[in-house]
Structure 1
Amino acid sequence: MSLIIRLIVNAFAIWIVTLIPALQVSVIAFPPGGDLQLVLTLLLIALIFGLVNAIVGTVVKLLAFPLYILTLGLISFVINGFLLWLTGWVTSGWDWGLRIGDFWLAVLAAIVIGLINWVAGMFFRPSADARAARRSRRHD
């Protein structure tokens, strides 16, 4: 998936998570509010989440590699929840952003976001024929 599509899918997934009241995840839009500000806020939160995941997530996943082996990968749910919680913490300094009630709710929200990304990846991933054609064009 291209970067723009991933950004849009993450923004959509974060929006879906905010609709589940039990998770206590909310998005505070840019002032004065409204639909356009909510969409822009979700896109910016998705961008920050992607940056946190790329920078901090890479380091944490590298350091937690033995835990991945011990837990057969189940620690990834906790790490992804931590990264989502960290994104909420980063945006809490402004009057807009992601607000998460509890760390374990962030873990559940990250699981839902991961499921939405997985389903979207099935739809937006290029077929094997398209990938092979792209590889052959690179080598020509």
Structure 2
Amino acid sequence: MRWLFSLAINSLVFIVVAGFLQPDFYVANIPTAVVAALVLSVLNTIIRPILIFITLPVTIFTLGLFLFIINAITLEMTDYILGDAIRVNGFGTAILASILISTFSMLIQYFVFDPKNKKTSERK
């Protein structure tokens, strides 16, 4: 159930980021955003660990900032897989979109899914 809720949230994040980065980042409609979130989660599960392993020295040298490049690569792969339903104009837009998607997803995970933070904030 949590995975479905996370998929719905990530779909919403896709639409919000597309709204921020118009016309360079385009998502055709809500079902496309759901499919894009699904494809991106599969790529992040399968391809991203391989990319991280291959680029580990660069990631360590850049103190982890190269992970944004890896996220942009997986976003570009999502764009390639979905064709015209999603459009990312340029690698710079992919980097910016991946930063925004990661930030929004992290904030939502922190406030919605992390019960530890809710318990500690209620005690104070």
Aligned pair partner of 1:123 in 111, 115, 118: 111
2:122 match:
none
Give the alignment of 1:14-33 within 5 angstroms: 14-21=14-21, 24-28=24-28
- TM-score scaled by length of structure 2: 0.86
Q: Write out per-residue CA displacement over residues 41-97 of structure 1, whole angstroms, 9 at most, x where no aligned residue.
A: 2111100111111111111011111111100000011110111011001111xxx52
Give the alignment of 1:29-44 within 5 angstroms: 38-44=29-35
Structure number with larger C-alpha Rg: 1
- The unaligned stretches of length 5 or more in structure 2 are 119-124
CA contact (8 A) 1:23 1:108 kept: no
1:49 match:
40
- The unaligned stretches of length 5 or more in structure 1 are 29-37, 131-140
Q: How far did residue 129 of structure 1 move?
A: 8.8
For residues 23 and 101 of structure 2, what CA distance do their matches in structure 1 show? 12
Identity %: 25
- The structure richer in helix per residue is 2
Aligned pair partner of 2:90 in 78, 90, 102: 102
Matched, 1:70 2:61: yes
- TM-score scaled by length of structure 1: 0.77
Deviating runs (4+, > 6 A) in structure 1?
A: none
